[in-house]
């Protein structure tokens, strides 16, 4: 059972909220200059989650930053999450580690396959990369491994996957979140099996 005295985590009005976009800009710059490994970030972004959110956690729950729900910390072990608009979001804490390990393996295999396919045209490479990025993005958000900051990290993973192949987004904002509509609805439609609208949206984010 989740301890009743464990605090919720909402950082939007934290006094140090302004550190978040600064840290994100530093990570994106490191990715763009090969000072940060795109595969490593995509496979496991807990280091980046810690870097971004370390200053805005509730007092006494500093471990909210950089750790998944279900990890052996008092207020993480049984921490539930969810969103009213889609009950599929937020897997049980006890299953987060398994699903994230599975997702990490999928990311590694997918990117290794893209790395090794030298016969793809630039157009096909872009199409396959966007397909992979969107699948990983929506799967990650469905697991919702962190208490908060999942959207930021999910969007950062998309940056990392696309940037690995030189497809650096021009309008895919990590912070703030992309405009709503259509952002949230596109994610929901993807979960419903309608994948093309989100993939098209991401492609548009690559255009000037």
Residues 33, 5: Cα–Cα separation, whole Å? 43
Alpha helices by DSSP H, listed for the chain, are 19-32, 38-43, 46-53, 93-116, 122-143, 150-164, 183-191, 196-206
Bond prior to 176 in cis (omega within 30° of 0): yes
For the structural domain made of 19-206, what CATH number should be given?
Answer: 1.10.3290.10
Rg (CA), the chain: 17
Residues 15, 3: Cα–Cα separation, whole Å? 26
Q: What pLDDT is stored for residue 208 in this prediction?
A: 65
Residues 157, 137: Cα–Cα separation, whole Å? 7
Structure token digits, residue 104: 């990490």
Nearest to 61 by CA among 12, 10, 19, 114: 10
Q: What pLDDT is stored for residue 1 in this prediction?
A: 80
166: helix, strand or coil: coil
Q: What is the mean pLDDT of each run of 10 residues along the chain (208 residues)?
A: 92 96 98 97 98 97 98 97 93 98 98 94 96 98 98 98 96 96 97 98 92
| Domain edges within the chain | 19-206
């Amino acid at each position: 059972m989740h301890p009743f005295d464990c605090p919720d985590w909402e950082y939007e009005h934290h006094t140090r909220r302004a550190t978040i976009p600064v840290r994100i800009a530093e990570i994106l710059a490191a990715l763009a200059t090969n000072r940060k490994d795109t595969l490593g970030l995509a496979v496991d972004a807990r280091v980046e989650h810690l870097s971004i959110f370390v200053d805005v956690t509730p007092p006494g729950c500093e471990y909210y930053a950089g750790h998944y729900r279900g990890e052996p910390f008092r207020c993480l072990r049984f921490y539930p999450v969810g969103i009213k608009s889609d009950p599929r979001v937020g897997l049980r804490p006890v299953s987060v580690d398994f699903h994230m390990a599975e997702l990490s393996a999928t990311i590694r295999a997918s990117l290794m396959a893209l790395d090794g396919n030298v016969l793809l045209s630039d157009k096909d490479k872009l199409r396959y990369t966007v397909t992979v990025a969107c699948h990983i993005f929506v799967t990650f958000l469905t697991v919702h491994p962190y208490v908060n900051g999942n959207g930021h990290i999910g969007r950062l993973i998309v940056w990392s996957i696309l940037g690995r192949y030189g497809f650096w987004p021009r309008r895919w904002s990590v912070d703030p979140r992309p405009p709503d509509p259509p952002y949230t609805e596109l994610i929901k439609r993807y979960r419903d099996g309608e994948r093309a609208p989100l993939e098209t949206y991401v492609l548009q984010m690559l255009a000037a």
